[in-house]
Amino acid sequence: MAVAFLDRSKESAGSKLDLEALFDEHYTKLVRMASFYTDSAESAEEVVQDAFVKLLKGNYKIETGREAPYLRSMVLNGARSTLRKRKVRRDYKPDPPENAPAAEIAGVASATSQEMLEALRQLPEKQASVLVLRYYLDLSEAEIADTLDIARGSVKSHAHRGLAKLATLVKDLA
């Protein structure tokens, strides 16, 4: 039995698939079949065109006389794939976007941060270091004590004094 190849480099008359004749003969039927599965004429045409393109670009070994069933199989698989993709898109429900903070919040936060930094710079070095490590880096008392090479009790007292002094320096922080 003869086998038809879609190899464009080999132009032997008996082994080349006549894609144009296959298209003319089966395109309308294939679109009709695909539209049954996809419920859309546009999607059906796309599936059939994709099948012909794959057949054109691929190097398929198709037995002579079996081109139409092979093409129908390609279209059927393409239609099923289209349905799967459509179902995934339909079933996917993205999380609603979070509310963005108002623009003025960033401006107030920036001004507040600047005010806080200026106030921290007015504190004694140990108090400022303890507060920065505690509230900006979220370190524990033990980690702060290790970092600054001081006792845990000193960390507590520096934090307490630093917060008290900050409260007098920064009056309107929320």
Task: Assign domain 117-169 one CATH number from 2.40.50.40, 3.90.1150.10, 1.10.10.10, 1.20.120.160.
Answer: 1.10.10.10
Give pLDDT tens digits for 148-172. 999 999 999 999 998 888 888 877 4
pLDDT of residue 6: 47
- Band of pLDDT at residue 29, cut at 50, 70 and 90: very high
- Taking the C-alpha atoms of residue 35 and residue 79, their distance in angstroms, rounded to an integer, is 8
Q: What percent of the chain has pLDDT over 70?
A: 82
Domain residue limits, the chain = 3-91, 117-169
pLDDT of residue 112: 67
pLDDT of residue 136: 82
Instruction: List own/partner pairs for 129-137 with CB under 8 A and 24 or more apart.
Output: 129/158, 130/155, 130/158, 130/159, 130/162, 131/158, 131/159, 131/162, 131/163, 131/166, 134/159
159 vs 110 pLDDT, higher one: 159
- Inter-CA distances, 45 with 27, 31, 56, Å: 9, 6, 16
Phi, psi of 3 (to 5 degrees): -115, 130
Task: Assign domain 3-91 one CATH number from 3.40.109, 1.10.4160, 1.10.1740, 1.25.60.
Answer: 1.10.1740
Q: Which two tokens stand for residue 159?
A: 């934090």
- Taking the C-alpha atoms of residue 65 and residue 71, their distance in angstroms, rounded to an integer, is 11
Count of C-beta atoms within a 10 Å radius of residue 35: 18
Count of C-beta atoms within a 10 Å radius of residue 136: 10
